[in-house]
Amino acid sequence: MSRALVTGTVAALRRCGGLPSPRQCSLPPSCSTLSWSASSLGLPQPVALPRRCVSLSALMRKKQQFGDFDLVLPAQVTREDVHALVPKHIERPPYFDSGVVLDPPSKIDIKTKHDIVKMRAAGQLARKALDYAGSLVKPGVTTHEIDAKVREFIFAHNAFPSPLNYMGFPKSICTSVNNIACHGIPDARELLEGDMINIDVTVYLGGFHGDTNRSFPVGQVDATAVKLIQTATQALQLAIAVCGPDRPFSDIGSVVGPSGFAINYRLVGHGIGRHFHEPPNVLHYDNSLPLKMTPGMVFTIEPIIHEGKSKTTTLEDGWTVCSLDGGRAVAAEHTIAITDTAYEILTDLPTEASPSS
């Protein structure tokens, strides 16, 4: 689940070696603006409010340049009592009861080897839940149905779905279809043949979060959709390959680079651990920030790739980020730990050994 930068954040990162200054913002920090002082923020507006703040006619005109697919303007979200959903024996993150997120550390939290063991368990469970979610993707299924089944899968493994009531988010996973770039809220819309969907899963297990996402085709998709998904996967692989101790974070942005599609500049990866979102931010585009990776750092890499321009807007629900030109967007994400000699992909499964560890 990505973060997003606001104007001036890059300068702030440069001044303090990769860490942002606290900022006041009007929307949840994980979707539209950056803040390390989250407890000062209000919760998102109820999702029952209108979810469209962009012109449908303008989007339809712009979307025509990208081909024949369904332009998604999210459907009604089924409201649920989130507190009634969670079995009593499941460990809940500190923000769950109130929806208010505690301030994360102001400095990068270096994990111990024991912490990494716990984060590996959380990451591998997140990956299993994502694989399960992907198996449910087919025409006629609603994202609400996928959300409910994945939530029960996570509970069955004695873990908690991290997005649930995080800053008031009403569901357990994010489902972003076609022109929705990220943080789509599962709803009543049925998936259609030819759609693309990104599913973002984060679990809380043993006091730590594990975060991963992937984009899936719905039935048969066009050639551009196939290339978009391949490009996002390749960008993630290239970014992971340059990770290791003493490597600058700017190397990630250097290798993601041009691909015939646009990279999203607003949405970035993030540190992760005891907090869902921690320092540092991980930029997926060319930059000269000096911060270097050190053993014990754990963070996500999650480039978002657009078939059109990368400009986005956030809908009135305070979460759903959609492209302004109606073009489709895809993403891919892993949680990475820096080791003494290289890196480990914590959201890989044991049968998929990391290329370096």
User: Residue 351 — pLDDT band, cuts 50, 70, 90?
Assistant: confident
Q: List, for residues 264-312, the tens digit of each pLDDT value.
A: 999 999 999 999 999 999 999 999 999 999 999 999 999 999 999 999 9
Say if 355 falls within a structural domain. no
Q: For residue 333, is it within any domain? A: yes
Known binder of ligand: residue 68? no
Q: What is the pLDDT of residue 25?
A: 26
Report yes or no on 251 lying in a domain: yes
Question: Is residue 211 a known part of a binding site?
Answer: yes
Kindly report the three-state secondary structure assignment for every residue of 185-210. Answer: CCCCCECCCCCEEEEEEEEEECCEEE
Q: What is the pTM of this model?
A: 0.85
CATH number at residue 66: 3.90.230.10
209 is in an annotated binding site: no
Pairwise CA distance, residues 247 & 284, whole Å:
15
248 DSSP 8-state letter: B
What does the pLDDT look like over 240-267, one tens digit per residue?
999 999 999 999 999 997 678 999 999 9
Domain of residue 173 covers 3-78+90-345
Residue 306 domain flag = yes
Pairing relationship of beta strands 208-217 and 196-205 according to DSSP bridges: antiparallel
| Residue 277 is labelled as binding a ligand | yes
Asked if residue 344 belongs to a known ligand binding site, the reply is no
The answer to whether the beta carbons of residues 231 and 356 sit under 8 Å apart is: no
How many domains are there within the chain? Answer: 1
Q: In the structure, what pLDDT confidence band is assigned to residue 350 with cuts at 50, 70 and 90?
A: confident
Mean pLDDT of 103-127: 96
Q: How many residues does the chain have?
A: 357
Pairing mode, strands 160-161 and 180-182: unpaired
Residue 175 lies in a domain: yes
Whether 264 maps to a domain, the answer reads yes
> What does the alpha-carbon distance between residue 167 and residue 102 come to, in Å, rounded to a whole number?
10
Query: Is pLDDT at 123 greater than 60 in this prediction?
Result: yes
pLDDT band with cut points at 50, 70 and 90 for residue 118? very high
Q: Is 183 annotated as a binding residue?
A: yes
pLDDT at 63 (0 to 100)? 65
Annotation-wise, does 115 bind a ligand?
Answer: no
CA distance 350 to 327: 36
Structural domain includes residue 269: yes
Please give the structure tokens belonging to residue 331.
Answer: 């993403």
Which tens digit of pLDDT belongs to each residue from 17-75?
A: 332 322 222 233 333 223 333 232 233 333 333 344 455 556 666 666 787 788 887 77
Residue 217 lies inside a defined structural domain of this protein: yes
Residue-wise pLDDT for 65-103, tens only, equals 787 788 887 777 777 899 999 999 999 999 999 999 988
